[in-house]
Amino acid sequence: MKQSEVKELSVAELQEELVKAKRAYTDLKMAHAISPLENPIQLRGLRRSVARIATELTKRELQ
């Protein structure tokens, strides 16, 4: 998820997306531990998406 997409979401939607992204990251990480992924760069992309969403949530809490 791109930063521009993250900025457009509401707080409730961000929290929902954060849960989904964390679950997807965990599932992908476990799948990679069992057998190597065809494209391990997916892990980096999901991890960065989680960070973007979490950062935006923190930013909005501080405002």
Output the domain CATH number for residue 44.
Answer: 1.10.287
Backbone CA torsion sign across 38, 23, 55, 17: positive
Full residue range of the structural domain in which residue 28 is found? 3-62
pLDDT at res. 40: 93
- pLDDT tens per residue, range 3-61: 999 999 999 999 999 999 999 999 999 999 999 999 999 999 999 999 999 999 999 99
21-31 as b/e: b if 16+ CB within 10 A: bbeebeebeee
pLDDT at res. 51: 97
pLDDT at res. 1: 84
- Please give the tally of structural domains in the chain: 1
